[in-house]
Amino acid sequence: MKKFILISLGKFLIFILICVFAISCSGQEGTLNKHLNMLHKRYPMISKTGWKVLESYNHRNLINFSLSNEIMDTLIYMEFSKVIHDSIWNPGEEFYTITAYSKIFKEGQYEHVINGIPDTNYHIMYPISNRDSIIFISGKYYYQFRYNKINSKQENFYIDNHDSLNKLKGNALPELPGK
């Protein structure tokens, strides 16, 4: 009789755990779908389906998601935040910000990375066999600034001139002044 009760109790606990897990997963999925619909209104090029949650964070007035999506031969990474700004004039006003967006795809012996939405911050490619041999299609100076590949004088020059520097394309661009 004790063995029967223990087995029944064990099955019941497993059933409860499965139910709790299923409810929590569907809750996060429903929340994610709501956020993706809001992002899609602002950025129609963002797919509303197929995203996998890599990380999520929810604290008071800040929600952050890190996601991946595979569409045919392209892998997409996206991070976004939703901030709820409470003020006297606009209580509960919501702001969505895409903090990272990259597409990665292969073309022959090269892998391409396109970063940015709606505008491209940088587009690089490199041989699959040697990821250190980066070839810049566009955004060389943005990439160097973003990943701390320049010194402080060059960084100041970039900050002062980033609007025009970000429009330059190609791999054979000169170093920024200040070295």
pLDDT given at position 119: 83
* Alpha carbons 165 and 161: distance in angstroms, whole number: 6
Residue corresponding to tokens 């139910």: 19
Instruction: Output the average pLDDT for the chain.
Output: 82
* Alpha carbons 61 and 92: distance in angstroms, whole number: 9
* Structure tokens, 51: 């995203």
pLDDT at 78 over 70: yes
Whose CA is closest to 67, among 37, 104, 100, 27? 100
Whose CA is closest to 154, among 179, 121, 171? 179
For the residues 86-96, what does the mean pLDDT come to?
73
pTM: 0.71
Which residue ranges make up each domain of the chain?
A: 1-101, 108-174
pLDDT digits (tens, 9 = 90+) for 109-164: 999 999 988 788 999 999 999 988 999 999 999 999 999 999 999 999 999 999 99
Handedness of CA 120, 121, 126, 130 (dihedral sign): negative
* Alpha carbons 36 and 131: distance in angstroms, whole number: 32
> pLDDT band for position 5 (50/70/90)?
low
* Structure tokens, 40: 């899609």
pLDDT given at position 105: 93
Whose CA is closest to 64, among 91, 115, 92, 98? 98
> pLDDT band for position 3 (50/70/90)?
low
